[in-house]
Amino acid sequence: MKFKPIFILAILYFTLSCSSGLEPVEIDLSDGFKPQITVSSFLNPDSVVNILLAPTQAAYSIKISALPQITSSIIKNLTTNTTYHLINNAVKNNIFLTTSEFIPLKGSIYSIKIETNNPLQTIEATDTLPSNEVKITDVKIDPIRKTTSYLGKVIFIPLNEKQTKYYELVLFVQDMSAIIKPQPFYQISLKSKDQLITREDYYPNLLLLGAEDPCSLLFRLNSQNEEISLNFEYGSGEGQSGSSINTWDQNIKVQIRSVSYSYFQYKTSLYKQIYAAEGDLLYGMASPVKVKGNIIGGLGILGSYCKVDSTVFVAGRTHIENE
């Protein structure tokens, strides 16, 4: 037993010394590869329709798949039986399908149908826009002593409907350190110890060391009228003056989205795929996870959501190391 530490060190030495001589090798995985069309679009009543189309690419290939030729593209409001034609615009290796004829309506059912050549495909998808958004009643944010992180709490009234509803918490930050004008809002990652979040199977477990925090927090609620209190944590940017650690003034926008089931399935499976690729401390690499979409005849997602947000001011701090 006394030789075990030496044995482990020897393995590490030979492993690391051998890896230093590795050279990159070109891999061609394009043989037999047939490109498909991917679709990505999230409808909401605060913006116009914007659907992204792109061809799939062979892994590690430098050859870019050609853009599909669109012969027909429509979006239909099945609730009102109204059809709108989409206008396509190619940008680099993507195609954007848009229309300015309408804004998506809450509670309406929408379907898209896109027909293409090269490859020859008919792409279809349907999703129902949530009927309403939650009501935020309060937002509180407090600093965590001796760190540049903050604890937040958002209190809201969920949708009062019988079936299970799906939600997403998203956080945006606006730094107020600029002298001339404020910086634009940008999204930041979140984490939470709230059971409402940690019970969802996409949320990374404690054994997934070094895993990045998710970009948003997704959760579900059954029918209820009472207020919900949701806790979260985020890290703030920091500055340094001499040996003193500081943070600057910020506006924090807390946004809660009522999302469709398709949106929820897509986002949570996407997070699960990311964390499965990272592996965990005990079991190593997990089985591959397929991202769930609702596109027929292609890949991707047509999702939808309604959103509401509340913005609070968080004052900067100085001499955080002395708190």
Q: What is the pLDDT of residue 183?
A: 83
172 pLDDT above the threshold of 70? yes
Q: Which of 13-22, 50-59, 197-206 has the lowest mean pLDDT?
A: 13-22
232: how many CB neighbours lie within 10 A of its CB?
21
Query: In terms of C-beta density within 10 A (0-12 exposed, 13-18 middle, 19 or more buried), how is residue 126 classed?
Result: middle
Confidence of residue 155 (pLDDT cuts 50, 70, 90): very high
User: Do the beta carbons of residue 43 and residue 10 sit within 8 Å?
Assistant: no
User: Do the beta carbons of residue 121 and residue 115 sit within 8 Å?
Assistant: yes
Q: What is the pLDDT of residue 233?
A: 97
The string of pLDDT tens digits covering residues 98-147 is 999 999 999 999 999 999 998 889 999 999 999 999 999 999 999 999 89
The string of pLDDT tens digits covering residues 188-231 is 999 999 999 999 999 987 666 667 899 999 999 987 668 999 99
Q: Please give the CATH number for the structural domain made up of 37-128.
A: 2.60.40.1220
Confidence of residue 285 (pLDDT cuts 50, 70, 90): low
Q: What is the pLDDT of residue 2?
A: 45
Q: What is the pLDDT of residue 17?
A: 45
Cα 94 to Cα 61, 64, 70, 75, 270: the distances in Å are: 17, 11, 12, 19, 21
Domain boundaries, the chain: 37-128, 135-292+304-322
- Indicate if 135-292+304-322 has the same CATH topology as 37-128: yes
pTM: 0.85
Q: Tokens at residue 249, please?
A: 């003034």
Quick one: how far is CA 75 from the chain centroid? 24
Long-range contacts of residues 82-88, Cβ cutoff 8 Å, at least 24 apart = 84/49, 86/49, 86/51, 86/112, 86/114, 88/53
Secondary structure of 84-149 as H, E, C letters:
EECEEEEECCEEEEEECCCCCCCCCEEEEEEEEECCCEEEEEEEECCCCCCEEEEEEEEECCCCCE
Q: Which CATH class is domain 135-292+304-322?
A: mainly beta
Tell me the helix, strand and coil percentages in the chain, rounded to 5: 15, 40, 45
Q: What is the pLDDT of residue 205?
A: 75
Which residue has tokens 């207020």? 227
Three-state secondary-structure class, residue 251:
strand
Q: Span 55-70, mean pLDDT?
A: 83
Q: Are strands 228-235 and 149-157 parallel, antiparallel or unpaired?
A: antiparallel
Q: What is the pLDDT of residue 19?
A: 47
Q: Span 273-287, mean pLDDT?
A: 67
Q: What is the pLDDT of residue 321?
A: 82
Q: What is the pLDDT of residue 81?
A: 97
- Mean per-residue pLDDT of the chain: 86
